[in-house]
Structure 1
Amino acid sequence: MIVLVLFLLMLFFSITLSTFFLIVANGLFLVAPVVYLRGIWKRKITPNPATWMIWSVVGSVNALTYYLQAPAEEKVLATLSVVSACSFVIVFVISWIKGVFATLEWPEWIAFALTMIICTIWFVIRENAHATQIANGMLQIPMLLGFLPTAYMVVKRKGTEQPNAWLFGASAYVFQIAALICSDETIWTQYLWPVINGLGGNGSVLFAIYWVKSRTLPHV
């Protein structure tokens, strides 16, 4: 119903299909952290500290880089990375204040170490004009690493996650990919963020959640 209303607004205001998909994506990504924080408030979700710290730091750097380097006519396509970075920081800060984070274990420390190494390499090569796209692509690796502690935590049943927020997040990235496809100015590196992290990362956590649920269902 909401998508239908947005589609009618698109026709009324004559916005492009790319912009329409991006509006839907941003809307979904605004809902995702609200759903996630609601789960935290009800003690149904145990956020992983490594995941949200990595995303808060690297996501903010990625969003800033993506937005500043995007052509003027493509700035709107970079808004989802900004919205997602803000949501990462909000979830991290609220979880920290409430003291609901899971305990740090070896997967978290490995993810931290690899993130620091990759970010250091990124910082060194980012000013090289010939390596700009490679440097930007490298930032997606820590973001993907951020999913692993949460997936590990769920599989090992050291914490709990609910699928709804992750489904909203994955859906948002699907619409961002659609927006990129419909844009005339898209470059290949812009697909890295939504494909690797949005679908691959969210998909890994969703797989872990549903896999654990399938293992706990009573056998008939």
Structure 2
Amino acid sequence: MTTTRPAGAASTDERTPGLQGALGAVLGRARWRRGLLLRRAGALALLLLAAVLAVRPSASDAVEVVVAARDLAPGRVIAPGDLTVRTWPSDVVPSGAVATGVAEGRVLAGALRAGEPVTDLRLAGPALAAAAAGVPDAAGVPVRLADADVAALLSPGTRVDVVTAAPAGGAPTVLAAAAVVLTVLEPGAGPAGSSTRGRLALVALPRDLATRVAAASLSDQVAVTLR
């Protein structure tokens, strides 16, 4: 028996190619979108990697820096155990950072927190004296403080006048005006036996005045007055 197909109706064989084509198009678009997402994710990962590499210093840019191993008070004579070495990126190392051998045995002019780098301006010496006095030829001069109460009033940056004791019936002599205190040494930080003769204050002066004060302190009693 012959089956009559209605006019305009498509056979299954005729519909199949159309369905396959539509399904293929859908799958093709899905693969294309998936590939696009993968390419974008790969590009983003490469950008992130490049940013990390740009920010992180290379091994050749890392340097060793001397830092405080513990909190240190001003006036302390630095001992080997007070320091340690850390590796820092070279672009964040402060200018004037010193080596271990330079810092040991020096007097610390300002307090240091643990992990803080040691620089030349934290150590009593020519660089700090020049910066404090404002003249390139400045020098640090030790002044013996017989009165412990006066030592307690002094701190780095304090300005004082250095005077000699008044002779009988006379007035004291001002050896140097407006000297800048660099630091006051801790008790017992000076030479052996010095703790019984008062604490030492280091003051910054132009070199000619520094020489005058140093010479006077050898024979005369020297004191400071706060400005």
**TM-score interval w.r.t. the shorter chain?**
under 0.3
Q: More relative contact order in 1 or in 2 (CA 8 Å, sep 6+)? A: 1
TM-score norm. by structure 1 comes to 0.22
* TM-score using structure 2 length: 0.21
The structure richer in helix per residue is 1
User: Considering only CA atoms, is the larger Rg found in Structure 1 or Structure 2?
Assistant: 2
Query: Per residue, is there more strand in 1 or in 2?
Result: 2
